[in-house]
Amino acid sequence: MIAALGWLWRGAALGVLAFAIFGPLANLVLWAVALQWYYPHKLPLSFGLRYWREVFKPTSDAFVSLGTSIEIALITVLACLLLAVPAGYALGRRLLPGRAAILMLMLLPQAFPSVAVYINIARLFYRIGLNGTVAGVVLVHSVHGLVIAVWIAAAAFAAVDAELELAARNLGASAWRAALTVTLPLAAPGIMAAAIFVFLESLDEFTGTYFVGVPDITTLPLMMFTASIAGNYQIAAITALILLVPSIAFMLLIERFLNTETLAKIG
């Protein structure tokens, strides 16, 4: 009897949690397939895929924004990796004194509320003509991307046994060769994780792009925002679902790798 009550309580609590988590997401899906929905109806009056056609026709804004978003995200990943892998190597291998200080400096962008910083970046970019360009948006995305990339890369390199590199050098390899052919491949999974984090972060980035990209660059989050403010909930919902796909896919992929030790190293 008590066991049954226990299950009732447990079930209710989990049910409320499930509703709290999946309710808003389900609402999004409903709006994505609704044609007409107004009060006092609790569910859409008519369903249809009309808005999907509108979003996916090749001339549509959504398609262009999707392309822009992916383009910017890929370039951001490239830029961040180019900068973070060497830095992560130096920091992970503890080659520098003041390592802690540098890592703290790298953490600065996460430590300060960034809206004011973005406002001023936009102003500075106006002066040098970088506002409203892909390069400008990539630079803005890279700042936060670098934080993630450097920290994860440092952790990934630190996790690689230094002995292996020393063994390679003992066998005659130069420092570069040892680093590139022994350490880098071993740190690769961590670096791949960093790349994916940076990609997702850039894809979903809104605030910086809002100040630096408008009006010429429209990324998918900006388009979603405009559609939502304009009351076009169907298009906003569909765009939101498009944004969710890479994130959820990554989550399902990473379920195996997201163990607590890695997170402890990051924290």
Partner 1 sequence: MPERRLLALLLVAPALAVVLALFVYPLCYSLASAFTTRDGAPSFDNFAKAIELYTADIVFTLVITTVSTVLVAILSAAIGGYLVLGDHPFAVKLLKWLYRWPLFVPFIVAAQCMRTFLAKNGMLNNTLDTLGLVDLRNVSGLLDWRGIIVTFVWKETPFVALLVAGAMAALDRAGIEAARNLGARGLRILVEILVPQVAGVMIVGLVLAFVTMLSVLSVPIMISGGSPTMITVDMAFRVNSYSDYGTANALGFISYLIAGLGAWIYLRRNIAGAAQ
Partner 2 sequence: MKRLGIVIATVAGLALGFPATAQNLSVVTAGDQNMVDYAKDYLGPLFEKDHPGVTVRAVGTGPGDAGSQKIYEKLEAEKNNASWDIDVAVIHQKAAGEMAAKGMLARYVPDVPTGKLVTSPAAKKALGADVDGYVIPMFNSQTVIAYNTDMVKDPPASYADLVAWADKHPKQFGYNGIKGGMSGVAFVVGWIYANAPDSERLINGPYDKSTEAAWNDAFAKLATFNKNVVLTPGNAGTLDMLSRGEIAMGPVWVDMFYTWQADGKIPPTIKLKLIGPGMPGQPMYYVVPAKAANAKLAADFIALATSPKVQADGIVKRFNWYPGIDAAAVKSQLDDATWQKLFVDVTPEDLASKGKPFPIAPYFNDILESYERKVQ
Interatomic CA distance for residues 43 and 27, integer angstroms: 10
Q: Which amino acid is at 60?
A: S
Contact indicator for 88, 149 with CB cutoff of 8 Å: yes
Interatomic CA distance for residues 86 and 92, integer angstroms: 10
Name the residue nearer to partner 2 (CB basis): 103 or 214: 214
Contacts to partner 2 by CB under 8 A:
36, 38-40, 71, 74-75, 78, 126-127, 131-132, 134-135, 214-216, 226-227, 229-233
Name the residue nearer to partner 2 (CB basis): 88 or 136: 136
Nearest to 77, CA basis, from 149, 25, 176: 149
In whole angstroms, how close is the CB of 91 to partner 2 at the nearest point? 25
Contact indicator for 47, 33 with CB cutoff of 8 Å: yes
Query: Max Cα separation, the chain?
Result: 78
In whole angstroms, how close is the CB of 52 to partner 2 at the nearest point? 17
Residue 95 binding target from partner 2, partner 1, none, CB below 5 to 8 Å by type = partner 1
Residue 25 binding target from partner 2, partner 1, none, CB below 5 to 8 Å by type = partner 1
Nearest to 154, CA basis, from 88, 59, 71, 234: 88
Residue 83 binding target from partner 2, partner 1, none, CB below 5 to 8 Å by type = partner 1
Strands (E), the chain: 34-36, 46-47
In whole angstroms, how close is the CB of 49 to partner 2 at the nearest point? 16
Residue 231 binding target from partner 1, partner 2, none, CB below 5 to 8 Å by type = partner 2
* Residues 6 or more apart in contact with residue 63 via CB below 8 angstroms: 55, 56, 57
Name the residue nearer to partner 2 (CB basis): 58 or 267: 58
Name the residue nearer to partner 2 (CB basis): 75 or 102: 75
Residue 174 binding target from partner 2, partner 1, none, CB below 5 to 8 Å by type = none
